[in-house]
Amino acid sequence: MSCGVLDEEEFSRCCQLLLHHSDSVGDGWSWEAVQSSDEGYLKKTVLRSVPADQSITQKHKESGSDSEQFDYCRFKTEEQGVNGSADSLRPDVEDEDDCVCRAPGGSSCSSVLQFEYHVLYSCSYRTPVLYFRASTLGRSLTLEDVWNSVHPNYRLGLQSRPLDAITQQEHPFLGQAFFFLHPCRTEEFMKPLLQMTWDQNRPVNYVLSWLSVVGPMVGLDVSLDYVTLQQPTV
């Protein structure tokens, strides 16, 4: 590994080590092979209770004329204009029948969501990439649910340029709509870390280090006991 990136072979090696540890502690990661080849990706499914954020709903209602339209939103695959100032999505009128119904006054309760996380390798960026999607057991999903899973520590950075951060993307292998955390920043934040550990002759598991950073950004927790992971032999 060098300069903040890694090749696909090393990606696979790092993933296998991660899987080995996951198996030993029952953390739930699995490897999805692609066409019986060495190529594949990591996958994990998590159930999470996500409270709908009432303050966000009410704040938005006060902010302007767009707000009344925005009691709900949908995952969409077609192009959608983004309001430059408020970054609000316009509701999809055709889907009105399927939209989330919020009780008057913006009251909300928590719901159980199923989050699915996939770690793929990006050949163009030469880094891992995190894909994720969420589905609900019982009610239609809102964008706010996914947004609420983003740790507050990272919301500001992600909010400032949402189009560059979390966007909807077609899963390269499944062809289904997922969200993904754009890999454009990965090399930049991995590079100093890798340089330091390289200088000190302490190679790290790239995928693990990367995942520990980006996971919390999208609600995925990576347990501390992964630190005991053996490093891949170079």
Look up 14 and say whether it is catalytic. no
Stretch that binds another protein, among 21-29, 94-102, 132-140, 203-211 (CB under 8 A): 203-211
For helices 206-214 and 8-25, what crossing angle results, to 10°? 70
Q: Is residue 65 at the binding interface for another protein, with CB under 8 A as the rule?
A: no
Distance set, CA 124 to CA 120, 121, 155, 180, 215 (Å): 12, 9, 26, 15, 21
Interface residue with another protein, options 29, 41, 131, 226 (CB under 8 A)? 226
Least distance CB 93 / another protein (angstroms): 16
Supply the DSSP string of 117-152, one letter for each residue. Answer: EEEEEETTTTEEEEEEEEEESSS---HHHHHHTS-H
- Supply the DSSP symbol for 5: B
Catalytic residue among 73, 101, 109, 184: 184
Binding flag, residue 209, another protein (CB under 8 A):
yes
Q: Least Å distance between CB 49 and another protein?
A: 16
Q: Least separation, in Å, of the C-beta of 182 and another protein? A: 7
In the complex, the smallest distance separating the C-beta of residue 112 from another protein, rounded to whole angstroms, is 20
Helix (H, G, I), strand (E, B) or coil at 42: strand
* Residue 182 within binding range of another protein, rule CB under 8 A: yes
**CA-wise closest residue to 142 among 42, 60, 46, 29:** 60
Q: Which of residues 76-115 bind another protein (CB under 8 A)?
A: 76-83, 86-89
Q: Which of 39, 46, 106, 154 binds another protein (CB under 8 A)?
A: 154
Find the part of the chain contacting another protein (CB under 8 A) among 39-47, 99-107, 115-123, 144-152. 144-152
* Interface with another protein (CB under 8 A), residue from 152, 175, 201, 230: 152
Could you give the residue ranges of the DSSP H alpha helices within the chain?
Answer: 8-25, 54-63, 66-69, 143-148, 152-160, 186-199, 206-214
CA separation for the pair 27, 46 (Å, rounded): 10
| Torsional class of 119: left (φ above 0), alpha (ψ -120 to 50), beta (otherwise) | beta
Task: Report in angstroms how near the CB of residue 186 gets to another protein at its nearest.
Answer: 10
Residues that bind another protein (CB under 8 A): 56, 59-60, 63, 70, 73, 75-83, 86-89, 143, 147, 151-169, 181-182, 185, 188-189, 191-193, 195-197, 200, 202, 204-205, 208-209, 212-213, 216-217, 221-222, 224, 226-227
Catalytic residue ranges: 184
